[in-house]
């Protein structure tokens, strides 16, 4: 036996609320960081960046020395 179900002809999408955009937590952190960087005196920021670059350079040099030492020990 076949059951007939009436279909409403005025079907419209029912949207209860517009989709919310989800902002990752890191976004807020980066926005605050950017704002604080804008407030830093130029000389202080530049010195900090130079110090950080010098530290990274020293780490790279040290790792290269360690790799050379490791290779010489393996031979």
pLDDT on residue 53: 96
- What confidence tens digit (pLDDT) does each residue in 10-41 have? 555 555 666 677 888 888 998 998 888 888 78
User: What tokens were used for 33?
Assistant: 């960081």
**Cα separation of 17 and 15, whole Å?**
6
Q: Hey, where are the domains in the chain?
A: 42-75
Q: How many angstroms separate the CA atoms of 72 and 67, rounded?
A: 9
Neighbours of 45 (CB within 10 A): 13
pLDDT at 52: 96
pLDDT confidence band for 75 (50 / 70 / 90) = confident
Specify the pLDDT at position 69: 94
- Burial class of residue 32 (count of CB atoms within 10 Å of its CB; 0-12, 13-18, 19+): exposed
What confidence tens digit (pLDDT) does each residue in 30-73 have? 899 888 888 878 888 889 999 999 999 999 999 999 999 999 99
Q: How many residues does the chain have?
A: 75
């Amino acid at each position: 036996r076949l059951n007939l179900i009436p279909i409403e002809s005025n079907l419209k999408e029912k949207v209860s609320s517009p989709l919310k955009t989800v902002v990752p937590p890191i976004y807020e952190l980066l926005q605050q960081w950017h704002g604080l960087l804008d407030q830093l005196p130029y000389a202080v920021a530049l010195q900090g960046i130079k110090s950080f670059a010098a530290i990274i350079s020293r780490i790279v040099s040290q790792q290269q020395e360690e790799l050379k030492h490791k290779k010489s020990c393996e031979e």
